[in-house]
Amino acid sequence: MRAIIEGTAPRPARLAAASGMLPLAQSDLIEVLVALRQGEDAELGKAAAATLIAQSSEDLLIAAKSDSTPTSVLTYLATGEEISREVREVTILNNRTPDDAIAAFARLTKDGSLLELVSINQQRMVRAPAILDAILANTARTPEAERRARETREEFFEKERGARQIADELRAKGKSAAAEFFESVDLASTPEALSAEDLWLIAAHIEVSDAEIDESWLPSETYEELMAETAEQALANVRRVIQHEMLESGEISNERVSMIRRIMLMTPKDRLKLAMKGDREARGILIRDSNKVVACAVIKNPRITDPEVESIAAMRTVATEALRLISLNRAWARLYPVIHNLSRNPRSPIPMVIGILPRIRTKDLLNLAQNRNVSEQVRRHAQRLGQARSGA
């Protein structure tokens, strides 16, 4: 069989194979016929083509479904003019069928329903953009096939290209930190489309370069907590951040709401990057993220200031883990307003607060003992410390 395909077998043997007269297994026969049909010998090619047409649809269906069928045969089943519609459908659905064969079929077919079948496989279209181009260039395409192809192009290519172009322009303007961010951003996975205007606005709030970031605190298993969100989860996160800002600051402007939406509709991994690279305004939004890893990344931002940390320590909507990271920072633990806010924050872990209480002033301890917002355990401990110091 190898000798026939490679052309080293005697010509009578190859001619017998092209005529289907050799005792080969059916799968081997089809492979040999496809090879001879495509060979340079016109007589053998013509004979092999005639023998292929004579093969039963059942035998071709078996080849189209099999995981072991050679790609050369699958290419023939995808592009051959004489192939039945049933065999073509199965070949299109076979993941081993070469992408270039599917693209060639999509360019030439006049069957709109088969183009729809091709357009269902988004993963294949992303892997081989030529298939997208072929569908959109084919006048036989159905509205559904066109819709799927256009949506895939917009989601996986136009957004990516927009981010890349913006990165190039940012670097040309000397804004390397923002360029680095947009070179790795995953806009294709955002639940809503972000326009070029949105991207430029986000770029204006990036101030930290990759060289300044320390990711040693971020273990690899943490990425499991950065699973892709559904559109519903992302929008719920947007509403949550807006509500928390309104509770803490009163009314917020439409511009601020728009900025929150732009940032919070990015993927969790991109928000993580922005939390470590963003400016004060971006940090103020992302510290309220429902994903605790993103909130902790804000605390690890190298540009975060002491007043910001003091404010975060008092927030009742921040992740508990972020408060714990603040308490573990020696520089911040020496700032009395920070530890005072941590001690009064009902979100602070109780063991952490009890460890802080010896450094709290007596007057503040006695006030804390009366604070119904903190746990009873913290109140009792504060009362005992306060009374011991005052001699009561």
Q: What is the pLDDT along the chain (392 residues), one digit of tens a residue?
A: 888 888 888 989 989 988 989 888 888 899 999 999 988 889 998 999 999 999 998 999 999 999 899 999 999 999 988 899 999 999 999 999 999 999 999 999 999 999 999 999 988 998 898 999 999 999 999 999 999 998 888 777 766 677 788 888 899 999 999 999 988 887 767 777 777 788 888 999 999 998 999 888 876 655 555 666 788 888 898 999 999 888 877 788 888 898 999 999 898 889 999 999 999 999 999 999 988 899 999 999 999 999 999 999 999 989 999 999 999 999 999 999 999 999 999 999 999 999 999 999 999 999 999 999 999 999 999 999 988 887 75
Q: Which amino acid is at 189?
A: S
Question: In whole angstroms, what is the distance from residue 214 CA to residue 300 CA?
Answer: 8
CA distances from 329 to 108, 146, 283, 323, 371 (A): 65, 55, 18, 10, 26
The maximal CA–CA distance of the chain, rounded, in angstroms, is: 114
Nearest-angstrom CA–CA distance, 269 and 276? 11
Residues 238-259 as b or e (16 or more Cβ within 10 Å = b): beebbebbeeeeeeeeeebeeb
CB within 8 Å of 190: residues ≥ 6 apart: 159, 234, 265, 266, 267
DSSP string, 202-213: HHTTB---GGG-
Residues whose CB falls within 8 Å of the CB of residue 78, separated by 6 or more in sequence, listed in order: 88, 91, 92, 97, 98, 101, 102, 104, 105
> What pLDDT, on the 0 to 100 scale, is given for residue 158?
67
Give how far Cα 177 sits from Cα of 24, 183, 207, 218, Å.
64, 10, 6, 20
The phi, psi pair for 278, rounded to 5°, reads -80, 165
Question: Strand, helix or coil at 278?
Answer: strand
Question: What's the first-to-final CA gap in the chain, in angstroms?
Answer: 101
Q: What are phi and psi of 219, to 5 degrees?
A: -70, 155
Rounded distance between C-alpha atoms, residue 322 and residue 313, angstroms: 9
